[in-house]
Amino acid sequence: MVRGRKKTLHRRYINNPPTNPLTATYGDGMLPTLTSGRCITATDAPSHRRPCRYPMNSESPTKAGTVSHNDMANAIRALSMDAVQVANSGHPGAPMGMADITTVLFTRHLKFDPTNPQWPDRDRFVLSNGHASMLLYAVLYLAGYRDMTIDEIKNFRQLGSRTAGHPEYGHASGIETTTGPLGQGLANAVGMALAERMMNARFGDSVVDHYTYVFAGDGCLMEGISHEAISLAGHLGLSKLIVLFDDNGISIDGDTDLTVTDDQIARFAASGWDVSSADGHDPDAIDSAITAAKKTGRPSLIACRTVIGFGAPNKQGTSATHGAPLGDDEISAAREKLGWPHPPFEIPEAILGVWRTAGQAGGKAHAAWKEKLAALEEATRESFEAILSGDLPANTVVALNAHKSQISADAPKWATRKSSQEVLEVLTEQVPAMIGGSADLTGSNNTKTAATVPISVDDFGGRYIYYGVREHAMAAVMNGMALHGGFMPYGGTFLTFTDYCRPSIRLSALMRLRVVYVMTHDSIGLGEDGPTHQPVEHIASLRAIPNLNVFRPADAVETAECWLLALENITTPSVLVLTRQGVPTIRTEHTDENLSARGAYVIADADGARQATILATGSEVKIALAARELLQADGIATAVVTMPCWELFDQQPEAYRAEVLGKAGTRVAVEAAACFGWARYGVGEAKVIGMRSFGASAPIADLYDHFGITPQAVADAVRAEL
């Protein structure tokens, strides 16, 4: 029944939209100077025909009173269809369909200052349906972001341009997050809205009070990650999160009736959201819906009924506009229908002037915010600035070294997950920006510390997030928190479930974010839970992601060192791969030097001229050391190299790498994981003592014997080569 109703709605809507800006006439009865920064519309005309009134400064090139909402929205449409046409690739449909919503949001609601794009209290705007990238580029250009020139728009999708196919974080200011994998932006936005509440709880309304707006399409809402993100946002009551759903009933394969019958409004409502719907081409309806959404005290969904490709007379409302250039003929027809006679990439001065004036409106709010910041008590202001700097407090390394020294003296036999908790106790005490969490495995991941009190819907002052069984959202939310600024998120689950958050881990790496993944139960060493829980291929597959540091420490000292490295690497996310089972402390001689920083080092040198080198990571370093004993007893001079982080080792000078790996003799490797990848260190498949199948359910000792990951097997592999 719902299915039928939805279909009828869209068909009817496409043929006869409730308000049709395409037939509107503009330019009559305009109102001149304004006093407020928001568009004011006359009340006696259909909303789409009404002129916008903006504060015009005296230099404004705008001829006051000649620019309408439609002119402004059509500027987005024209730039989008023309840029896609020139690039001969891209997605014109969503930008044309969402142009009205964008215009209302950016001119009436969004708090932003193009001249200070990093202003911490700006509203965040996330284009989760990132294929609509031209919409973002167009509005950034129109609003006056300096990075986004008309030449960038003309170079859409070309090598080296800021205007990549999908919005890439760091390419241009105003792009708050990389989007493209559908649903990720929505989940990032949950992290941003959460970070806002957490910063607000610490520093108050006067300096932290902003909204996070998200555009999301059918695709984002079909993705599984959307469920986790929506559910978490509803549970936490993230009141400053507003999602504008591009409810156009179209995706790539055609009408969404082909694939989905969800009642999205009921779905969000069921997760505790405030919900409403609006005609996505009626500026006043959109405006009213956003105004109402701001007041609800809950996250809000506004389902905006739109027509994809709005303005393309023969193709609008169809998937033909989704991801292909409209073609010259259709673009000409669209120009006529939209009443946009201007050549490609030319925005009439008057229209651009009104857009730029809208862009300047945030300057005042920004200036007022600076005054509020200055008025904060000095200590509060300093801690606000310190937390936003992203720097580690000065005492962090000193405290960590004291911890290392103590471990070396005590030589505990801790699982490295336990070692991680112990070092986290030290770090979270020192670093207030650290925010912990786990996907319902807190007691297993050992991620919670005394300093990290849980947050709740009633109190965002804490530092620990119970993410629930939502690994994917946890990772994307951590990305959002890191992007927001102010926090250093870390979160845990079992290593085998990195697969459940891999797309977001990949984006942490792509966006160069400091996010730390605490992945415990790292091998068959977890024992009886069996092969579903025993990671095999995961370490290799994580090592394959560029700009991701995969740390597998051998003992409590290396674990402490790896944690510090994870926090110090501000442009590289880290995965900490940690054992469930106890391992001995190997580093019993203290040094302040962070030996793990070079990625690998000789932990036991050969007794005599080196004949063999055993490479190992994590819990298998102790197996390598035991194998060395066997070999040395036979007079085979053997060195053991611990390799807590391949990626850092690969960055070392050639001479260091050669020295560590050993220039002479044979080389074998031992790691209770897939053998894939060791060839880069000159260790052929046959010389890797590792896993060649899935694991099995049994006690740990039986498993190591069963799969042949033993000192004897390592020693035999060395002997076979000599």
Ligand X SMILES: Cc1ncc(C[n+]2csc(CCOP(=O)(O)OP(=O)(O)O)c2C)c(N)n1
| Interacting residues toward ligand X by CB under 6 A | 93-94, 129, 131, 180-182, 217-220, 223, 246, 248, 250-252, 308, 322
Residue 713, Cβ density class (10 Å: 0-12 exposed, 13-18 middle, ≥19 buried): middle
423: which residues sit within 8 A by CB, 6+ positions away? 400, 403, 556, 559, 560, 563
What DSSP state is assigned to residue 256?
Answer: G
Instruction: Please state, in angstroms and as integers, the Cα–Cα distance from residue 302 to each residue in 240, 275, 287, following that order.
Output: 13, 6, 11
Cβ 183 to ligand X shortest distance, Å? 6
Cβ 134 to ligand X shortest distance, Å? 11
Catalytic residue among 152, 223, 471, 620: 471
547: which residues sit within 8 A by CB, 6+ positions away? 509, 510, 512, 571, 572, 573
Residue with tokens 């800021």: 162
Interaxial angle between packed helices 396-410 and 556-568, expressed in degrees from 0 to 180 and rounded to the nearest 10: 170
Interaxial angle between packed helices 69-87 and 328-338, expressed in degrees from 0 to 180 and rounded to the nearest 10: 170
Cβ 236 to ligand X shortest distance, Å? 24
What's the token pair of residue 396? 């962090």
Cβ 220 to ligand X shortest distance, Å? 6
Strands 638-642 and 612-616: parallel
Cβ 215 to ligand X shortest distance, Å? 10
Query: Under a CB-based contact definition with an 8 Å cutoff, are residues 139 and 106 in contact?
Result: yes
Pick 65 or 180: Cβ nearer ligand X: 180
Q: What is d(CA 101, CA 97) in angstroms, rounded to the nearest whole number?
A: 8
Pick 243 or 250: Cβ nearer ligand X: 250
Pick 90 or 491: Cβ nearer ligand X: 90
User: According to DSSP H, which parts of 52-209 are helical?
Assistant: 69-87, 93-97, 99-104, 133-143, 150-154, 184-203
Q: What is d(CA 477, CA 185) in angstroms, rounded to the nearest whole number?
A: 9
Query: Under a CB-based contact definition with an 8 Å cutoff, are residues 112 and 125 in contact?
Result: yes
Pick 51 or 93: Cβ nearer ligand X: 93
Residue 427, Cβ density class (10 Å: 0-12 exposed, 13-18 middle, ≥19 buried): buried
CB atoms within 10 A of CB 686: 10
Pick 226 or 438: Cβ nearer ligand X: 226
Pick 11 or 590: Cβ nearer ligand X: 11
Pick 210 or 322: Cβ nearer ligand X: 322
Instruction: Please state, in angstroms and as integers, the Cα–Cα distance from residue 113 to each residue in 120, 207, 243, 358, following that order.
Output: 11, 15, 21, 10
Pick 131 or 315: Cβ nearer ligand X: 131
Cβ 474 to ligand X shortest distance, Å? 18
Cβ 241 to ligand X shortest distance, Å? 19
Cβ 330 to ligand X shortest distance, Å? 17
Pick 94 or 338: Cβ nearer ligand X: 94
Amino acid identity of 66? Answer: T
Pick 138 or 576: Cβ nearer ligand X: 138
Instruction: Please state, in angstroms and as integers, the Cα–Cα distance from residue 81 to each residue in 87, 130, 141, 376, 719, following that order.
Output: 10, 16, 15, 47, 68
Cβ 318 to ligand X shortest distance, Å? 10
Q: Confirm whether 471 is a catalytic residue.
A: yes
Pick 74 or 251: Cβ nearer ligand X: 251
Radius of gyration of the chain (CA): 29
| Nearest residue (beta carbon) to ligand X | 217
Q: Assign residue 543 a region: left if phi > 0, alpha if psi is -120 to 50, beta otherwise? A: alpha
Instruction: Please state, in angstroms and as integers, the Cα–Cα distance from residue 479 to each residue in 40, 184, 207, following that order.
Output: 37, 10, 23
User: According to DSSP H, which parts of 485-637 are helical?
Assistant: 502-511, 538-543, 556-568, 621-633
Cα dihedral value 279, 280, 284, 285, nearest 10: 40
Q: For residue 10, how many C-alpha atoms fall within 13 Å in the half-sphere facing its CB?
A: 21
Cβ 503 to ligand X shortest distance, Å? 7
Pick 185 or 618: Cβ nearer ligand X: 185
Strands 124-127 and 254-255: unpaired
Cβ 50 to ligand X shortest distance, Å? 27
Q: Which of 220, 221, 262, 248 is closest to 319 using CA atoms?
A: 248
Residue with tokens 């004993």: 629
Instruction: Please state, in angstroms and as integers, the Cα–Cα distance from residue 228 to each residue in 425, 501, 614, following that order.
Output: 29, 11, 44
Q: For residue 41, how many C-alpha atoms fall within 13 Å in the half-sphere facing its CB?
A: 21
CB atoms within 10 A of CB 487: 26
Pick 217 or 618: Cβ nearer ligand X: 217
Cβ 168 to ligand X shortest distance, Å? 14
3-state secondary structure (DSSP) of residue 476: helix
Q: What residues act catalytically?
A: 471
